[in-house]
Amino acid sequence: MIISILGIRGILLNRRNIPIMSMPIESMLLAVNSNFLVFSVSSDDMMGQSFASLVPTVAAAESAIGLAIFVITFRVRGTIAVESINSIQG
């Protein structure tokens, strides 16, 4: 619970740079993953552990897509500041 609260706080406080905004999202995924493991062990169910093995796969795909978006945005705009990305429409 504490890790997810810190992740939400990190997103709300770091609104200047997109890569820095994506790091708290990864910490919230870590919190979800640890919750899956803890509740799986406490309830003697393997479903939580199987979901916990899928979370890193989703995180890797999210990171790859996010990095591609960062690179394209930097090439087009010349910056990855959030203020300049707010003007994107389409």
pLDDT at 26 over 60: yes
Mean pLDDT of 56-73: 86
Cβ contacts of residue 43 below 8 Å, gap of 6+?
A: none
Mean pLDDT of 6-19: 78
pLDDT at 87: 62
Domain spans, the chain: 1-89
CATH class as words, domain 1-89 = mainly alpha
pLDDT at 16: 74
pLDDT at 51 over 60: yes
Say if CB 37 and CB 51 are below 8 A apart.
Answer: no
